[in-house]
Amino acid sequence: MIVVVAYDITDDRRREDVAMLLSGYGPRVQLSVFECELRSVEELRQLKAEIRARIDTLEDQVRLYPTSEQSFAERAIIGARVVEERADYWIVR
């Protein structure tokens, strides 16, 4: 199943932690939106628990939208902009 995950997280560290978690499940398609591929309802439960453990539930919000294969295949993408993943690097002298 594909689950679209959108978030509004106020703290940079928490936001980066959630983005890193989600990047293990699927691509980032907008700055705060991922399309996550999950194998089972149990994996969805686990993802929800991992997100809950990483956010402040009084300040942040994460929305998960499970989709069927059919409804996901019918999605419309308008525009060609691609979100580039931030590449961290070190400069050593």
CB 59 within 8 A of CB 11: yes
* Phi-psi domain of 7 (left: phi exceeds 0; alpha: psi -120 through 50; beta: other): beta
Query: Do the annotations mark residue 8 as ligand-binding?
Result: yes
pLDDT by residue, tens only, the chain of 93 residues: 999 999 999 999 999 999 999 999 999 999 999 999 999 999 999 999 999 999 999 999 999 999 998 999 999 989 987 776 655 555 676
DSSP lists the bridge partners of residue 64 as 5
Q: Which domains does the chain have, with CATH numbers?
A: 2-73 (3.30.70.240)
CB 19 within 8 A of CB 73: no
